[in-house]
Chains A and B, each alone.
Chain A
Amino acid sequence: MTPPSPLLSIDNLRVHFPVRGGVMLRQTGAVRAVDGVSIEIAPGETLGLVGESGCGKSTLGKAAVRLLKPTSGSIRFGDADITRASQRALRPLRRDFQMIFQDPAESLDPRMSVRSIIEEPLIIHRIGSRAERIKRVNRLLDRVGLPVSAGERYSFEFSGGQRQRIGIARALALNPKLIVCDEPVSALDVSIQSQILNLLVELQKDSGLSYLFIAHDLSVVKHVSDRVAVMYLGKIVELAEAEAIYRDPRHAYTKALLSAIPTPDPMARREKILLEGDVPSPIDPPAGSAFGHRIGHPRYGETIGLDLALTEIAPRHFVAADPCCLTAEDWNKARPAPLTQK
């Protein structure tokens, strides 16, 4: 079974932010927020993206829908190369990719009625007559589980979960093919969180949407994703089918991340892998394996200058070829060929 041609394909993407200092504000360095990431999302697929705060997952999400300009690499959406497309050229394409944000309170204009918030994308893209738009907004409200009367109210009159529904209705207005969800449920209580997750899953079943689902809650990501990418300091370190990555994580960072999830079962006393410290700064990251550096791995020195590229270690299971982060057996499978002659 060959996978269908991807809807979104990102190749070797870099997004760096300049760091300026001194009197002349010369560029003194760069925050390498996204540093050589390649991912693909198929139609109807959910790719989950996890990692600690500061690992670059939100930057990657924003760059994927061109809310940020990439430094290098390429982003293709369907047949179109949108890496360097101008805002004007992007506008007609934006119908197909939308975004849902973490904090619905901050992403909805408090001075606009809910109806105008959801209608706005239709007006911008000149879709339908006034009457048709009213009908469409009513249908959208109904689709996300809000009463039609909600349209005449303001976003601040709603609870967090309902606001997130409004954000989803706005994202759906143009019938997009891809929605980037940036921590869509992390601000919500668990009972409301499950309502929103159910809605996202239903919408996908109905209309074959694709999601790039960014979150730090690994159980939530596992629940909604077909494949999961684990990001560490601007790079993908492991990428596999959701089931596989949770059942059989190969990268040391993925293992640590998974072991840190608290389980709602007091009887399950799992061995936790405790990491020291926090994610290192993406300004001047370590020259070799970033995670090897954090855990002070004895083989860190070997990784300087090494290409820690993703390697297929099992069918559709990719992991960074990094001697600090793999078992000896996995490293033998993943190590790049030239090194074997050493």
Chain B
Amino acid sequence: MNARAENILEVEKLITSFETDRGLLRAVDQVSFTVPAGKTVGIVGESGCGKSVTAMSIVRLLPQPAGKVLGGHVHFKGRDLLQAGEAEMRKVRGGDIGVIFQEPMSALNPVHRIGKQVAEVFRLHRRISKKEAWDASVEMLELMRIPAPQQRMMDYPHQLSGGMRQRIVIALALACRPALVIADEPTTALDVTVQAQILDLMARLQAEMGMSIILITHDLGVIAETCDEVVVMYAGRVVEKAPAAELFARPLHAYTKGLLNSIPTLETPSKSILSTIPGMVASLAEHTHGCRFCQRMGRTARDNRERPLFAEVSPGHWVETCPQCYQP
């Protein structure tokens, strides 16, 4: 079986840094993962661990001029996106790769009607008339299960609820039937009931269109319900990577275990003391070269100088094999 042919996206040793007054700070430090065709890969971690920077590096939407991809490869459809020119990237974004952002209000232009914004995607990526683009947009809104799509096309973003706006943003991302969708915290700003609607919608669209999804979230519940594979990031590095069922059943890295144990579930006894992860994510400038979770746990720098090896310890299950944090 040729594994390479099945992957729609392969990220290899990606390094992304930001230019700051304290020098060049590395936010993403040699991150590698693959996205199989038609599957959903979740990237999970606390704020500041580099999840979003990884995603934005793939589509080259880093804040400019500070953000720089300094190394690695992003293989997508037989080419390296990191080598592609700006004109080519513009075709890829919204064409082959759709992006769903967290805050639908800032992803939509407040002074243009919904219809114009959706139709624009079609006009940019396909050579079709205004009328055809309009009809395609109405069809897209119908696909998103938006009631009365003809009327919604005439609305401005502020006239819609949060859930409806997020549906529009998803419509924009999926308009050109992309092979890959990057969803950055798509439901974080929404109520659980609306979140359930949106996740259900995305699952149905995936079944229909067969696209792959990279889902970035800090919510392990959302990961468990939607993802085939999970990438756990900590302080700019991947510390563990496994199929979802395997990861939740057998977490091997101390950080993954810490995350899983700290969430109360409906089964946790009331008012019991929850387990916590002491300290917090170190700032980029303070990152050690050695194991960064050891750094958080306050283990001394002397026995923490080498970057732990990221190894496949059982089929498909990868983990940083730091002597302290790798806990099989």
Residues of A within 8 A of B (CB): 52-53, 159, 161, 189-195, 197-198, 201-202, 204-205, 216-220, 222-226, 242-243, 246, 256-268, 272, 274-279
Contacts and interface: CB of A to CB of B under 8 A. Distances in A.
B266 A261 contact: yes
B149 interface: no
A266 B266 contact: no
B234 to A, nearest CB: 11
Contact of B264 (A219, A259, A274): A219
Given A219-B263, A261-B266, A272-B196, A190 B280 contact: no
18 contacts: A53-B162, A53-B191, A190-B46, A190-B218, A191-B259, A193-B262, A193-B263, A219-B265, A223-B274, A246-B266, A257-B192, A259-B196, A261-B192, A263-B221, A264-B248, A272-B196, A278-B191, A278-B194
In the complex, the 9 A-B pairs of residues with the closest C-beta atoms, listed nearest first: A262-B221, A223-B264, A191-B277, A194-B274, A194-B262, A260-B196, A189-B46, A52-B191, A264-B220
A277 B161 CA distance: 9
Contact of B224 (A190, A217, A264): A264
A266 B196 contact: no
B275 A265 contact: no
Contacts of A272: 196, 200
Nearest to B247: A266
A299 B143 CA distance: 30
B308 interface: no
A52 B193 CA distance: 8
A244 to B, nearest CB: 12
Given A266-B248, A272-B200, A191 B276 contact: yes
Interface residues of B, number: 47
Contacts of B280: 159, 161, 192
B253 to A, nearest CB: 14
Interface of B: 46-47, 147, 161-164, 191-197, 199-200, 218-225, 227, 244-245, 248-249, 258-260, 262-266, 268, 270-277, 280
A194 B264 contact: yes
Given A53-B191, A278-B162, A219 B259 contact: no
Contacts of A260: 192-193, 195-196
A158 to B, nearest CB: 10
Contacts of B263: 190, 193-194, 219, 264
A225 B270 CA distance: 7
Contact of A198 (B218, B248, B274): B274
Given A223-B272, A272-B200, 17 more contacts: A53-B191, A216-B192, A218-B266, A257-B192, A258-B266, A261-B192, A261-B221, A262-B192, A263-B224, A263-B265, A264-B221, A266-B244, A268-B224, A272-B196, A274-B197, A275-B193, A278-B194
